[in-house]
Amino acid sequence: MDRTIYRFDQLAMSSSSEGRAPVAAGETGAAVTRPPRIGVIYNPRSHRNKGQDLDCAQRPEISVAQPQRREDIATALSDFAAKGIDYLIINGGDGTVRDVLTMGQCVFGDTWPALAILPKGKTNALNVDLGAPSGWNLSDAIAAYGSGSRITRRPLAVSRDGAHDPPMLGFIFGAGAFTLGIDAGQDAHELGFFNSLAVGATSAWGVLQALFGGDGNKWRRGTRMALTDLPSGKAMPHSGHGDRERRSVILASTLRRMPMGLKIFGKERDGLKLAVLDKPRRRVLASLPAICMGWQPDWLEASGYHQISAERFAMDIDEAVILDGEKFPPGRYIIGQGPELTFVTP
């Protein structure tokens, strides 16, 4: 991820599902009598991609695209849909998954093929949740179509209020200190920390800043934001600690399992979940390691740490937000859930 704040209209696409060949029944795990038609989105810029996987893709039923730009992803997916693929393998990190899913909405509609994710990026949170091993490669994923398990997940659907673009589809949305952590994570990557190790390094740094910094420290001052539950229209709870118009951090996801086994949302469950910290009070921060491992003391919400399940919510914020590692501009966002997708795992 670079540090550019991209606009949603840069990800908009005009491809339509009209006229494409129907996707075969493979997306639901049903058996097919012919070899499955497979499409591979191979991100040549992903952290661990060096082209070594592609030898096994030299088969007539496998189509490989190596898009250089986001717009190229839309073209590749439209071509795959016209071929009636049963199986879409995404070879890249969380950002690549976000872009492919976002572009794929207008191509596949409600008839998505089965999906597999190869953990080839700097961060691979979705792969952690799905349980595929870190060394899972293209040949493994191709073989797993017939022998592996199926797991369903619904991504987050993130829309700019009033925008006409399709929503962004991803799995981890955050703001406040989370945005600062992503910036710090880029520095961690430059030092050679990746995946869970990068998460741990940047999380520890953020906690130390919030514990020992003053109220003017950027890790402690919070971000001005308003959070509204939808469809009720009620403001989400605030403990009253600190400025009621500010929150220290918000993180939302539909993943069941987070990297490093973190249980920041509380009990493992499906659906849209939020973790919100009003003010980084030292009592909460000192207990954060235990809280992240699943401890839920009675005083947690009263002290300003909220673990919330929601159908949808709205956010008005005056600083950048993050979706799967990339910054997007301030404004009003509507966050809900996208289509139910089927992922193939070993």
Domain shared by 177 and 282, yes or no: yes
Q: Please say if the pLDDT value at position 29 is more than 50.
A: no
Domain shared by 129 and 221, yes or no: no
Domain that holds residue 303: 172-323
| DSSP 3-state percent helix, strand, coil across the chain (nearest 5) | 30, 25, 45
190 is a domain residue = yes
Domain shared by 217 and 307, yes or no: yes
Q: Please say if the pLDDT value at position 12 is more than 60.
A: no
At 53, which CATH number?
3.40.50.10330
Output the pLDDT for position 98.
Answer: 95
Domain shared by 203 and 288, yes or no: yes
Please state the domain count of the chain. 2
287-312 pLDDT tens trace: 888 998 999 999 999 999 999 999 99
What's the full length of the chain, in residues? 346
Q: Please say if the pLDDT value at position 28 is more than 50.
A: no
Q: Please say if the pLDDT value at position 202 is more than 50.
A: no
Domain shared by 252 and 122, yes or no: no
340 is a domain residue = no
Could you tell me which residues come within 8 angstroms of residue 91 by beta carbon, excluding any fewer than 6 positions away? 40, 41, 42, 43, 46, 49, 53, 118, 120, 138
Domain shared by 36 and 145, yes or no: yes
Domain shared by 35 and 125, yes or no: yes
Domain shared by 180 and 147, yes or no: no
Q: What are phi and psi of 119, to 5 degrees?
A: -80, 80
Q: Please say if the pLDDT value at position 122 is more than 80.
A: no
Domain shared by 316 and 218, yes or no: yes
User: At what angle are helices 177-190 and 195-212 packed, to 10 degrees?
Assistant: 130
Query: Could you tell me which residue, 8 or 245, shows the higher pLDDT?
Result: 245
User: What pTM does this model have?
Assistant: 0.82
Beta-strand relationship, 246-247 and 156-160:
unpaired
Give the span between the Cα atoms of 76 and 85, in whole angstroms: 12
Q: Please say if the pLDDT value at position 27 is more than 50.
A: no
